[in-house]
Amino acid sequence: PHLAALVLARGGSKGIPLKNIKLLAGVPLIGWVLRAAIDAGVFHSIWVSTDHDEIEKVAKQFGAQVHRRSPEVSQDSSTSLEAITEFLNHHREVDIVGNIQATSPCLHPSDLIKVADLIQKEGFDSVFSVVRRHQFRWSEVKKGENKMTEPQNLNPAKRYRRQDWPGELYENGSFYFAKRHLIEKGYLQGGKMAYYEMRAEHSVDIDIDIDWPIAEQRVLSFGYFGKEPLKEVKLLVCSIDGCLTNGRIYVTEDHKEMVSYDYRDIVGIDLLKKRGIQVRLISDRDCSKTLSAMQLGCVAKVNVTNKLQVLKDWQEDMGLSWKEVAYLGNEESDVECLKQAGMSGVPADGCAAAQKAAGYICKSRGGCGAVREFAEHIFLLLEKVNSARKQ
């Protein structure tokens, strides 16, 4: 049977404009679930249903196919079932739909693999995700009603200790898998049903803007970053023009060049060095005088025609694996380096090709704190590496 992953990503959002492609820990929100779906390796096709050009662009960057949904199922009042049904009407080859929520950035491929087995090998018609919660519920008393609240799932005279109570299962909305015949009858849950219990730390749902900073920390701690395990970064290579500087060159009347940089980026470089991470600089043009004036104390290579070859030479000389190399670039000449490095980033104003190739897109522009921001991102991921080692 043809199992298709389907992510519904409407352009409109009552809470956060274009929430589905807003950057979360340097990656568009929808990118986290698409990465997990692709690496799961259980789907015959992976789709994003959208009505928005920018969402379509991001979806394709992450390797998904795009179904352009109609205006009729793109309204605030439109339901997920309506959008899924429309998708099935256009794709008769699909037998089973795995509807994955774009707002669940801590989803892991291992979850999707197990769910695919439940519905393909064990014969379930529908499988949905749940999370276990240990919360005591009480009946609601509306304003003006003259009555008392009542306990719903506890005896107040004999309250459970958390460790003595298994808790209750709640839908977390991360995904809903269902067979075509069920959806065509108007159900996402029905027939022979099963739930799949996700780990609490992986159950992250972003609904309101205030959740965003919390979600970023959760993703950095518990998110899925790729098939290969993260390694400790030992080398950061940074493109000078457009990353360390804003790319502008000022020329005086006596033909001298001047550039500007952000002191925060210099602090970021110093912090990296203190953590034992080498920082090296690279440039397409000859800016040796500028570097000398900045007095950064970093190895630099200027007037470079093949940045990837220089990066390979440095990586081999230091005896590093690619997972131990980070690269910050912003131009088309950086694209191959961004693809090769284990950790890659671009400033917010990096070119489209560089943004597509990078794993992290900074909120800061080049020359305006992007190096410092990328350094902070490296430190957060190093904490994840150290945490994994302890476990």
What's the Cα-to-Cα distance from 158 to each of 153, 165, 210, rounded to whole Å?
12, 12, 36
Residues 6+ apart with CB under 8 A from 35: 27, 62, 224, 226
Residue 248 backbone phi and psi in degrees, to 5: -85, 140
Give catalytic status of residue 159 as yes or no. yes
CB distance 366 to 243 below 8 Å: yes
Candidate list 159, 199, 248, 285, residue with the active-site label: 159
- The b-or-e profile of 338-368 (16+ CB within 10 A means b, else e) is bebbbbbbbbbbbbeebbbbbbbbbebbbbb
* Alpha-carbon span 19 to 70, nearest angstrom: 20
Quick one: angle between helices 263-274 and 370-390, nearest 10? 30
Per-residue DSSP letters for 35-53?
Answer: HHHHHH---SEEEEEES-H
Angle at 313 between CA 311 and CA 315, to 5 degrees: 70
Q: DSSP letter at 103? A: T
- What count of Cα atoms within 13 Å lies in the side-chain half-sphere of residue 225? 24
Residue 343 backbone phi and psi in degrees, to 5: -130, 130
Q: 177 pairs with which residues across the strands?
A: 98, 127
Q: 50 pairs with which residues across the strands?
A: 68
Q: Which residues are designated catalytic? A: 159
